[in-house]
Amino acid sequence: MATLYEKIGGEPAIRIAVEKFYDRVLADNTVNHFFIETNMDKQRDHQTKFLSYALGGPNQYGGTSMEKAHEGMNIQPEHFQAIAHHLQQTLEELNVADEDIAIVMEKIGGLAPHIIEK
């Protein structure tokens, strides 16, 4: 059985999805302030590796923990939901199957406790 990584089209497709995703995020004034001082080329590469690994691809992700990466950012539930919504819209735009989107969103939702500021 193919992994989500393979079904979606591997790293090239994930790279495209990440580009489109960040276009949406950076256009959204409710969340784009989180990326003001971010090197977006590095962020896109990092996110591509993370998503590839999270969807069953090769583990090239060597980033810090979710808690550490988002520490002190004061990310609230509405910010997390906005980001998740942009990801879902991106996957829909790229014609990813609904059942695969549901799996991705479930995985992303599981990260909320590690990202949202307590």
Q: What is the number of domains present in the chain?
A: 1
- Its pTM stands at 0.89
pLDDT of residue 14: 94
Task: Examine the pLDDT at 55 and tell me if it is beyond 90.
Answer: no
Position 106 confidence tier, pLDDT thresholds 50, 70, 90? very high
Closest CA to 108 of 76, 85, 74, 90: 85
Show Cβ contacts of residue 44 under 8 Å, excluding neighbours closer than 6 positions. 15, 18, 19, 22
Question: Known binding site: residues?
Answer: 46, 70
Cite the annotated binding site for heme by residue number.
46, 70
Q: pLDDT band at 99, cuts 50/70/90?
A: very high
Domain with residue 42: its CATH number is 1.10.490.10
Question: Contact, 13 vs 94, CB < 8 A?
Answer: yes
Domain that holds residue 95: 4-115
